[in-house]
Amino acid sequence: MEHKIINFSLALGAIAVLFLSLFSPTKAFGYNDTDSTKTISIDKKIRSVDDSQYYDNVESSKKTFYENDVVEFQIEVKNIGTQPIYNINVKDMLPKYLSLVFNPGKFDSDQYIVEWNIDKLETNESKKYLIRAKINDSIKLNVSTKQTNKAEACGAGQCDVDTASYFIGKATVPATGASDIAIKTILVTLLAAGGFSLRKFVREY
């Protein structure tokens, strides 16, 4: 009797394995083993145009950006899986106080989003894109403010996100502004007086 029970259990186990292999939930929904190997990665970096190196973030201790300063973002999209990835959508969500200088793809001025597509990335293939912008309207800021730029890449049913942050300072008149004006005023006055004296000397009256 015990021998029959064991044989019956083994038979039930075999049937269960066969059932799962035929009616696997992943197969039922159209997935296969190769889908899990498709992996996409995005890397977002930032730099000032007077710096040759890109950074993940720029802290205020390193540099604070002011009105009309130019900032550049580098976006690298890479296929780190084992299968090609097609029709990749990339979006860059720009923060406030920026005026675009150049960018890939199209720009939605209402949403403040730069968007473009990559037709295909082979295994281990990557592509880099640049977005350059100028600090604009920072006069509206009362204090130094941290800004975060977010980029997103989606393909093969997967998405990856990365950010880069930096600081904008309130636009102010330089500390030397008043003295510069005073110096220029004095120079203009002296030149005018010198010209008047020279005219009197030449005309002898």
Inform me whether the pLDDT recorded for 117 exceeds 60: yes
For residues 136 and 98, is the Cβ–Cβ distance under 8 A?
yes
Two structure tokens written together for 31 = 């997935």
Dist CA 162 CA 150 (whole Å): 6
Look at residue 142 in the predicted model and tell me its pLDDT. Answer: 86
Chain position carrying tokens 């002296």? 190
Instruction: State pTM to two decimals.
Output: 0.66
User: For the sheet containing 145-155, what is the strand order?
Assistant: 106-108, 113-121, 85-93, 145-155, 158-168
Helix (H, G, I), strand (E, B) or coil at 205: coil
Asked if residue 178 has pLDDT above 50, the reply is no
Closest listed residue to residue 103, CA positions, set 115, 117, 112: 115
How many angstroms separate the CA atoms of 31 and 65, rounded? 48
Per-residue confidence band for 1, with pLDDT thresholds at 50, 70 and 90 = low
The answer to whether the CB of 103 falls within 8 A of the CB of 131 is yes
Residue 119 has pLDDT above 80, yes or no: yes
Just give the CATH number of 37-168: 2.60.40.740
